[in-house]
Structure formats: C-alpha cells, structure tokens
C-alpha cells in the first residue's frame, strides 16, 4: 500500500480516550498539566476525548490551544427520547471536533452493533464532527487467523452509505481487543499489517485517492516507549491512547513522538 503520509489530510493524530475516568476537577488538572508539556507542533493533531460531564469545561479550557476535544460517543438523532445519549448538536455547541464511535467496550458492554456504529458515524459527519471509528478483532479471531475478515466486515459496515468525500474525513482506529488495557501491545508489524489492510479495504470501497486521505490509527496499550516505532510505519497515522492518556507526562511524550523523518 502506498506510503503517502505527505497527504495533508493525513497529519499525524494522537487522540487520548479517557474512557470513564476523570471528574471535572481531575479533568482540569490533567488538561492544565498537559498544555505546558505538549509541544505547539504544527505537524500533528492532538485530541483528548473527555467524559461527557467534563466536555464543557475541557473545551473552554482548551480554546485557542493546540489540543482539540473529542467525545466518546454520539447519537444518530438530533434530539429525542434517547435517555443517556448525547447528540451531535449538543457536541457542536460545545466546540467538540471529534467523536469516538464503535469502541470495542461499547460493542462489548452496551450493545453497539455495526449498524449503530454506521449511524453514529454518519450523524457525526453530517454535523462536521470527525468520527474516530474503532474496529478490532477478539483474541479468538486473532488466534484463529481470521482477523482480517473481521476487520473487513467491520470497516465495510461502518462505512455503508458514506460517500467518498465524507469517507476521506473519517478516522479509523484499529484497536485489537486483546491489546486494550492488557499491556499486551500489538507488534509494530501487526499494527502496520492491519492498518494497511484497512487502507486496502477502503481502496476497494472507494478508490486509492480516498483511501490515501483517511487517517488510520493504532490503539491498544500504546506507551511512551512504543510510539516512535509505531509512527514510523507507513500506514499508521497516529494512535488512540487509553491508560497512558490519563498521565500527563506519558501522554505528552506520546504526543511529542519523534520519527526519523520528523
């Protein structure tokens, strides 16, 4: 697959997923610690995906800074009787720019399906919010060797009815379930293999130009020690970081990754 990180839309992206962590005061402490440590780099995008309760204060605190804010979920309807959900207009009003969609924890614990992932992604795109669409195989599928089939299916269904121009704006995060929160990170080669595979699926669904524009992230136990090696890989455009995003020193080091080309 073409190595084309020079495509402007493929600016490296490091996103922190705080998951169900950080009260408002804890969020503010983390954000304040982070802003001093994160380089004002123009060649990369930095995002923190805070819990819903902290989105308002975090977006306010980061206004005009080089860190953007993401949500961890987004509903497909603009409003209505959907207790516990959060809509695109609610997020855009706050200045939220990204939304994680289809994280494996939501698929596993909250009944998220490929159809709802697709509906959420389309709602985000419609509202001008960048969806970070998560895909990833279980340990069982990895061991059986059928992981690429799983990924193909997840990507195809997530992208259903998304037109080419919108597809190019999507971010896809490859997060093998067996590597999330386990400390068991995929090797650089395993990450690259699947990220390249995802780009191949996108090429078939759309075309090479569109596939080349999409940012594909790796997520799963990303650490300060592993980020530089990961970012060298031609099809890895960034990382979706869980545990290490909760520590300002670790996240800052990940954000400030260095590659030979940089």
Identify the CA nearest to 114 among candidates 150, 141, 80. Answer: 150
Alpha-helical runs (H) found in 13-80:
24-37, 55-61
Q: Cβ closer to ligand 13P: 79 or 108? A: 108
- Give me the catalytic one of 112, 137, 175, 192: 175
State the nearest-atom distance from the C-beta of 164 to ligand 13P, in Å: 27
Q: Mask of contacts with ligand 13P, 161-180, x by CB under 6 A? A: --------------x----x
The reply to whether 136 sits near ligand 13P by the rule CB under 6 A is no
Alpha-carbon distance 34 to 247, whole Å?
Answer: 9
Identify the CA nearest to 75 among candidates 110, 41, 25, 26. Answer: 110
State the nearest-atom distance from the C-beta of 58 to ligand 13P, in Å: 17
103 part of the active site: yes
Alpha-carbon distance 2 to 13, whole Å?
Answer: 19
Segment contacting ligand 13P by CB under 6 A, of 54-62, 162-170, 194-202, 240-248: 240-248
State the CB neighbour count (10 A cutoff) for residue 193. 17
Q: Mask of contacts with ligand 13P, 187-226, x by CB under 6 A? A: --------------------------------xxxx----
State the nearest-atom distance from the C-beta of 2 to ligand 13P, in Å: 27
Alpha carbon of residue 212 to chain centroid: 17
């Amino acid at each position: 697959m073409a190595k084309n990180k020079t495509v402007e839309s493929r600016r490296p992206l490091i996103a922190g997923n705080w998951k169900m962590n950080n009260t408002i005061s804890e969020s503010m402490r983390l954000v304040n610690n982070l802003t001093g440590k994160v380089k004002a780099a123009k060649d990369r995008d930095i995002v923190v995906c805070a819990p819903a309760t902290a989105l308002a204060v975090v977006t306010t605190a980061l206004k005009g800074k080089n860190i953007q804010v993401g949500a961890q979920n987004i509903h497909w309807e603009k409003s209505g009787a959907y207790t516990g959900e959060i809509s695109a207009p609610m997020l855009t009003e706050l200045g939220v720019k990204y939304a994680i969609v289809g994280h494996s924890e939501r698929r596993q614990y909250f009944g998220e399906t490929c159809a709802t992932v697709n509906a959420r992604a389309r709602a985000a795109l419609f509202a001008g919010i960048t969806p970070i669409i998560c895909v990833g195989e279980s340990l069982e599928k990895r061991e059986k060797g059928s992981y690429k089939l799983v990924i193909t299916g997840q990507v195809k269904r997530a992208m259903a009815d998304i037109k080419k121009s919108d597809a190019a704006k999507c971010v896809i995060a490859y997060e093998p379930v067996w590597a999330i929160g386990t400390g068991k990170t995929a090797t650089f080669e395993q990450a690259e293999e699947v990220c390249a595979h995802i780009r191949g699926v996108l090429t078939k669904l759309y075309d090479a130009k569109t596939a080349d524009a999409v940012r594909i992230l790796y997520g799963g136990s990303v650490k300060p020690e592993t980020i530089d090696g990961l970012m060298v890989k031609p099809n890895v455009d960034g990382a979706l970081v869980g545990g290490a995003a909760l520590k300002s020193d670790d996240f800052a080091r990940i954000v400030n990754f260095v590659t030979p080309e940089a």
